[in-house]
Amino acid sequence: MPDLPRTAPTLLGFLTWGPMSGYDLKKVIDGSTRNFWSESYGQIYPTLRRLLERGLVTRSDESGDSARKRHVYAITEAGRDELRRWLEVAPERQPPRVEILLKLFFGNQMSCARAIEYVETYRAELTDELERYGEMRPLLERASDNDRAPRFWLMTLRYGERNCEASIAWCDEVLAELADLEQDDPHRD
Amino acid sequence: MPDLPRTAPTLLGFLTWGPMSGYDLKKVIDGSTRNFWSESYGQIYPTLRRLLERGLVTRSDESGDSARKRHVYAITEAGRDELRRWLEVAPERQPPRVEILLKLFFGNQMSCARAIEYVETYRAELTDELERYGEMRPLLERASDNDRAPRFWLMTLRYGERNCEASIAWCDEVLAELADLEQDDPHRD
DNA sequence: GGTCTCATGTAAATAGTTACATGATTAT
DNA sequence: ATAATCATGTAACTATTTACATGAGACC
């Protein structure tokens, strides 16, 4: 079974938390791994169907008395095996695409004012992100008292925090540098 | 002309450095923006054709005496306009996909030894990357004495350095934490 | 009655990688 | 000779987003 999309192990991983619908999975992913791994409905639903076909999940149709249409998926033993196999494969790095850096790379061809605007916006986004991490942290810390799993979630949170902080510091440095460049040659462009 | 791929402005940006072939562009991109923006041949060649069709570049076939088949592309005024238009559009953030974090997120379902192995590999890759930045830095610094453009390139380099350093520090922190977890429960898998 | 959230799914477009085919030239 | 590099390009596949279609139940 070599042709499962990358979304497959992700969904299997989340389904170890308990049976869920595609809709639930989307919400749970958005609330946890969004900053380093996200999935859209366009990937989730087709992947669930393929997981079902391969017997890696089961589907129960919750449509009894008054319940609305809802497909709840549960991981099977074969699904757990597949997940474990995936966890044994060394992860690969994929270079990100950071559009602001690309524009800044060609920054000589735009006004410093514009570049400053972009960096300021970026900084504001990072600050928001860092704040969200700050809200999440105490919840995870409390949860990790009696459970081992949240300690791993905290590691990924820490990654976000550290990189956010580094990027914010970078913004400040670059904003100073851009202000300098603007001073040197204020009538340019 | 609303249907140009994202690769288009990238190529136009590099062509402001001077006329180049698709092969040259690939090398130049690999040598400069690779860590935050890379392109493959499968994107470069088809995009060059589309840029040519729209008159954003011109092509001269260098196949005179003994020269091998080689298409050299040069940016046109319309191409410069298109590039400037693109630079005026605010960049958008796209969340990266960091597979190691996804695996670590489900780390409770694998052995600590395996997780440690992954983080160590990741750390080694980051160290290499940081070293490459260190080699590049003096070249750019020297170049920025008499030219404004390298100062922008240095800004993007600084981004890589800061984030690399942050990630390396994170690796060390996580490695300690994983060693802890392994101590707590050495026979777990 | 209207809007919000729940809920499922598909279609189309865009993005991007990888592998392949081809062949010339240059260095060992 | 033969391996590496120069050089162009395409095809097939994989990945991913976005927008749309649909409709029920909950809340105001």
CA–CA dist B118, B134 (Å, integer): 25
Nucleotide nearest to B45 (CA to C1'): D9
Of chain A residues 34-73, which have a CB less than 8 A from chain B? 34-38
For residue A14, pLDDT over 70 is answered with yes
CA–CA dist B83, B14 (Å, integer): 10
A122, A155, A175, best to mutate vs chain B, most B CBs in 10 Å: A155
Residue B184 banded pLDDT, cuts 50, 70, 90: confident
Q: Name the closest residue on chain A to residue B86, using Cα atoms.
A: A103
Question: What distance in Å separates residue A63's CA from the closest CA in chain B?
Answer: 31
For residue A88, pLDDT over 60 is answered with yes
User: Which residues put CB within 7 Å of chain C, the nucleic strand?
Assistant: A 21-24, 41-42, 45-46, 48-49, 68-72, 95, 97; B 3, 5-7, 38-43, 66, 68
Residue A1 banded pLDDT, cuts 50, 70, 90: very low
Strand ranges, E, within chain B: 57-61, 71-75
pLDDT of residue B185: 74
SS3 A29: helix
pLDDT digits (tens, 9 = 90+) for A122-178: 999 999 999 999 999 999 999 999 999 999 999 999 999 999 999 999 999 999 999
The DSSP call for residue B187 is T
B71: Cβ contacts below 8 Å, ≥ 6 apart? B21, B22, B48, B59, B60, B61, B62
- Bridge partners of A71, per DSSP, are A61
Nucleotide nearest to A46 (CA to C1'): C9
B97, B118, B130, best to mutate vs chain A, most A CBs in 10 Å: B97
Residue A184 banded pLDDT, cuts 50, 70, 90: confident
Any chain B CB within 8 A of the CB of A122? yes
B182: Cβ contacts below 8 Å, ≥ 6 apart? B112, B113, B116
The tokens for A92 are 């690969």
For residue B189, pLDDT over 90 is answered with no
CB of B107 closer than 8 Å to CB of A152 = yes
- Bridge partners of B136, per DSSP, are none
Which one is predicted more confidently, A65 or A44? Answer: A44
For residue B64, pLDDT over 60 is answered with no
Of chain B residues 145-164, which have a CB less than 8 A from chain A? 148-149, 151-153, 155-156, 158-159, 162-163
B152 to A107: CB separation less than 8 angstroms, yes or no: yes
Residue A180 banded pLDDT, cuts 50, 70, 90: very high
pLDDT of residue A3: 77
pLDDT of residue A183: 86
Q: What are phi and psi of A74, to 5 degrees?
A: -130, 140
* Range with the poorest average pLDDT among A69-73, A153-157, B90-94, B140-144: A69-73
pLDDT of residue B90: 95
SS3 B74: strand
Mean pLDDT of all residues in A30-51: 95
pLDDT of residue A69: 79
For residue A64, pLDDT over 60 is answered with no
Q: Calculate the angstrom distance between C1' of C20 and CA of B52.
A: 25
Residue B67 banded pLDDT, cuts 50, 70, 90: low
Residue B66 banded pLDDT, cuts 50, 70, 90: low
For residue B1, pLDDT over 90 is answered with no
pLDDT digits (tens, 9 = 90+) for B81-127: 999 999 999 999 998 999 999 999 999 999 999 999 999 999 999 99
pLDDT of residue B2: 42
CB of B105 closer than 8 Å to CB of B95 = no
Helix residue ranges, H only, chain A: 7-15, 22-30, 41-53, 77-87, 99-105, 112-143, 149-184
B84, B106, B184, best to mutate vs chain A, most A CBs in 10 Å: B106
pLDDT of residue A2: 43
Question: Helix (H) and strand (E) counts for chain B?
Answer: 7, 2
Residue A185 banded pLDDT, cuts 50, 70, 90: confident
CA–CA dist B84, A154 (Å, integer): 43
Does any strand D atom come closer than 7 Å to the Cβ of A41? Answer: yes
pLDDT of residue B126: 97
CB of A130 closer than 8 Å to CB of A116 = no
B92 to A105: CB separation less than 8 angstroms, yes or no: no
Nucleotide nearest to B68 (CA to C1'): C24
B101 to A16: CB separation less than 8 angstroms, yes or no: no
CA angle B106, B189, A92 (to 5 degrees): 45
